[in-house]
Copies of this chain bind each other. A is one copy, B any other.
Amino acid sequence: MEDIFAYIEQNKQRFIERVQWLCRQPSIAAQNVGIQETARMVATLMEEVGIRPQLYSTDGAPVVYGSLGSGSRTLLIYNHYDVQPPEPLELWESPPFAAEIRDGKLYARGSADNKGNLVARLCAVESWLKTRGALPLTVKFVVEGEEEVSSAHLHQFVRQHTEFIQSDGCIWEFGGKDIQENPGIYMGAKGILYIELEATGAKRDLHSSQATIVPNPAWKLVWALGTLKDRHEDILVEGFYDDVVEPTPEDMEYLRRIAARRDDDERRRDIGIDQFVLGVSGLQLVKRNLYQPTCTVCGLVSGYTGQGSKTVLPSRAIAKVDFRLVPNQRPDDILQKVKRHLAQHGFADIELRVLGAEYPARTPVNSLLARVVEETTKEIYGRDPVVSPLMAATGPMWELTAQFGIPTVGTGAGYAHSNGHAPNENIRLDDWFQHMKHMAVIFDRFAKATNGTAG
């Protein structure tokens, strides 16, 4: 692979400018900012590296698809070009779409999640083609634009173009190193139900002296939220845990291996907390992180939120709440249970809006692609990967691959301080080139691998 690695080394500066170019374009799905423009830019990048792009429209963001190469094996690559909202803006050290490089790191909303990985993979294709002329396998890129809003319309693309999904395995959008620099790979994803709750009171804000007699929606929201989860972290929605599947003995073996390589205290200190939730550590920490569903207040707003005091009785209060779901919970079922819960607790008048829903997914842990990625990770990174049979995060894995039984593996250029979904999101450029080389090696080995050996 030295020829391809040498090409990457020679083109580093150009590749960096390529990822900066994409990161400088805002593409905030939640706010419908820059989505069409960014889809066209992804198509342009595909053309640049030698792939003929096709844009497929949906009722939401377009899906950019492109395939290239031939051979007995087909590798699907899933990425997304949309990003999370950049707020709170005041906590960014450089503007979120400036794509500034400092100390070998690229800072931008979307650098880690997920434009960096996308561009690295496209650069890997270019590097292969420029060095060897043709890919040794068929590579299919599916790049969507609504991952950060629960891939709301990806199912339209999948249903209409199921042939584009057919493959022997899929490299998932992301992956990265933990705080001890262990590379991690993932073979499943949690689902999600993201809702917004809005309580209303008087039809306009009032002087807070009226709080004796006029209902306060902020209180109503606080009381309603208080019925959803208690201080022992138990989610109180009736039937919420009914379909939760415990990890299998095989899963537990993976979790034990993860726990053995994790330094809980270092991780705890790094994020600045005294203890993890309920004081868990070791194997229980890993198990809880990967196999427990959540009910998380992601946002709260009501009344006056500025500096100092304002004595106002708010007319509305909003909470954004995500439920991360584990196999075999179903977002539609959980939604019905949450609605019933609110009604039973006297909160039927709180408006509930669904902002996203995805199924959890399991994909085969023992697959050819998984073995290829594990072995090549060791070669490229010099360490065995930390293998997670499920990840704490969510993506459209059920929709895109799991429902078709396609082995799916997440690997990528992230690291412990990538700050995904948070201010100062970034990737280290060294990690990024490492992922680029890793992808080229995966092309090689997956093309060659037989079912008995990874190549």
Which A residues are within 8 Å of any B CB, using their own CB?
29-31, 84-85, 87-88, 91, 148-150, 190, 192, 194, 196, 201-216, 218-219, 221-223, 225-226, 229-231, 271-273, 276-277, 280, 285, 288-290, 292, 294, 296-314, 317-318, 320, 322, 324, 346, 355-356, 391-394, 419-423
Contacts and interface: CB of A to CB of B under 8 A. Distances in A.
Question: Mostly helix, strand, loop or mixed at chain A's interface?
Answer: mixed
B356 A309 contact: yes
A218 B422 contact: no
Given A306-B85, A309-B298, A309-B322, A392 B212 contact: yes
B320 A304 contact: yes
Contact of A391 (B194, B209, B289): B209
Contacts of A273: 201-203, 214-215
Contact of A207 (B30, B226, B420): B420
A282 B423 CA distance: 52
A317 B88 CA distance: 13
Contact of A311 (B211, B271, B304, B421): B421
A419 to B, nearest CB: 7
Given A206-B421, A422-B312, A216 B297 contact: yes
A204 B307 contact: no
Copies of this protein chain in the complex:
2
A281 to B, nearest CB: 10
Nearest to A302: B300
A297 B422 CA distance: 27
A178 B303 CA distance: 24
A205 B419 CA distance: 8
Contacts of A356: 309
Given A31-B306, A85-B307, A211-B324, 9 more contacts: A29-B308, A85-B310, A206-B422, A212-B289, A213-B288, A297-B317, A298-B303, A305-B305, A311-B421
A24 to B, nearest CB: 21
B288 A299 contact: no
A259 to B, nearest CB: 12
A299 B314 contact: yes
B225 A222 contact: yes
A207 B309 contact: no
B85 A308 contact: yes
B307 A209 contact: no
A160 to B, nearest CB: 25
A297 B314 contact: yes
Nearest to A418: B207
Contact of A299 (B30, B226, B304, B322): B304
Given A194-B311, A204-B423, A206-B271, A301 B298 contact: no
A150 B277 CA distance: 39
A269 B128 CA distance: 71
A300 B317 contact: yes
A441 to B, nearest CB: 28
Given A194-B309, A207-B422, A312-B422, A277 B213 contact: yes
B308 A298 contact: no
Contact of A297 (B207, B218, B355, B392): B218
B205 A422 contact: yes
Contacts of A309: 30, 148-150, 194, 196, 298, 320, 322, 355-356
A304 B312 contact: no
Given A208-B324, A209-B392, A209-B393, A303 B299 contact: yes
A223 B227 CA distance: 10
A293 to B, nearest CB: 8
Contacts of A225: 219, 222
A302 B202 CA distance: 23
A207 to B, nearest CB: 4
Contacts of A219: 225, 229, 296-297
Contact of A226 (B222, B298, B317, B320): B222
Contacts of A203: 271-273
Nearest to A346: B231
Contacts of A313: 296, 298
Contacts of A297: 216, 218-219, 222, 302-303, 314, 317
Given A312-B298, A420-B207, A30 B307 contact: yes
